[in-house]
Amino acid sequence: MEQEVIVVGGGPAGLTAALYASRSGLSATVYEKGYVGGLAATTDIIDNYPGFAEGVNGMELGEKMKQHAERFGAKIVASEVERVWRDGGPKVLVKGETIAAGAVIVATGWSPMRLGVPGEEEFTGKGVSYCATCDGPLYRGRTVAVIGGGDSALQEAIFLTKFAERVKLVHRRDEFRAAPFLRQAVRDNDRIELHLSKTVVAVKGGDMVEGLELESKKTGAREFVEAEGVFFYVGIIPNTGMLGPEFDKDEKGFIVTDDACRTSVEGVFAAGDVRSKTLRQVVTAAGDGACAAMSAYEYLETHG
């Protein structure tokens, strides 16, 4: 079975790639093992996607992108791609079956990083979470902690104040790397309590999380801080387990491409947050999707 374009991952990058490929007259199939919209779909309000002046719910945006791609004939399949490689031409492995493609676009995004402190794994699902949109409503009127100082941590800390009475934002430095708009919004929110220059030593509790043991980076003093929920936003790891060493990656494991989204393997392109790049936003993921699809089109015109 040969398909013209196989897109791995159904987030904003993958769905946009499928839209552009289908609209160019190619047959495009998106394989998504989870839910369409990718991690963006777990964001309550996306505030900076052009055209949505009031903001847009991540799941709703994902659904709209899916419908848009389907309107031009793209197919979305709920399956995991286990391997992508080249053998004569690009190939993918799905449920043990090898599928040949004219071109493959890898748009698999990232997963949240684990901090690796004692109690984190033990209490996952018992108060430890990596998704405020999914679990935030459980903490109405309660106290939660958010760990991290990037866009995700600050955005989700603000989101959690919709439910939680108190949000303790714990960051290992005095300064946040998050965007200025988010820093200001955190400063303006009196439900957010800052715990700066502190690291998490352990997550503590009985049957459920009861709090965190923190250590000051300035004095070394340790303290117990109460929280019934703990949300970790300490960074991201690229989802590249389906790619072998023939794919060039940067020091953090993100896929290296040229500016036309070509990977080091002929006929395989990469788009969105899984690419090695500086800005990871829904709009840049969508832009990458378009770029990868048009490069795949050009590739198929000359090699197809």
Identify which of 280, 282, 233, 292 has the alpha carbon closest to the alpha carbon of residue 254: 280
* Shortest-Cβ-distance residue relative to ligand NAP: 150
Residues 44, 87, 134, 188: which is the catalytic one? 134
- Using CB under 6 A, list all residues that contact ligand NAP: 115, 148-153, 155, 172-173, 177, 199, 233-236, 280-281
- Rounded to whole angstroms, what are the CA distances from 277 to 39, 44, 79, 251, 258? 18, 25, 27, 12, 10
Give the count of beta carbons closer than 10 Å to the beta carbon of residue 119. 21
Helix (DSSP H) and strand (DSSP E) numbers for the chain: 6, 17
- CB 23 to ligand NAP: min, Å: 27
Longest dimension (CA), the chain: 64
Q: Which two structure tokens, joined as six digits, stand for 249?
A: 């990656």
Give the count of beta carbons closer than 10 Å to the beta carbon of residue 84. 24
- CB 205 to ligand NAP: min, Å: 20
The nearer residue to ligand NAP, 91 or 171, going by C-beta atoms, is 171
The nearer residue to ligand NAP, 77 or 196, going by C-beta atoms, is 196
Active site residue 131: yes
Task: Note whether 210 and 226 are within 8 A (CB).
Answer: yes
List all residues 6 or more positions away from 141 whose beta carbon is below 8 Å from its beta carbon: 163, 164, 165
CA atoms within 13 A on the CB side of 200: 28
- CB 131 to ligand NAP: min, Å: 12
Q: What angle do CA 115, 119, 124 make, to 5 degrees?
A: 80
The nearer residue to ligand NAP, 29 or 43, going by C-beta atoms, is 43
The nearer residue to ligand NAP, 20 or 232, going by C-beta atoms, is 232
Residue 205 has φ and ψ, to the nearest 5°, of 170, -175
- CB 124 to ligand NAP: min, Å: 17
The nearer residue to ligand NAP, 59 or 115, going by C-beta atoms, is 115
- CB 182 to ligand NAP: min, Å: 7
Q: Exposed (0-12), middle (13-18) or buried (19+): which is 180, by Cβ within 10 Å?
A: exposed
Active site residue 248: no
The nearer residue to ligand NAP, 172 or 183, going by C-beta atoms, is 172
Residues 44, 135, 273, 288: which is the catalytic one? 135
Active site residue 135: yes
Residues 44, 47, 87, 131: which is the catalytic one? 131
- CB 98 to ligand NAP: min, Å: 33
- For the annotated catalytic residues, the residue numbers are 131, 134-135
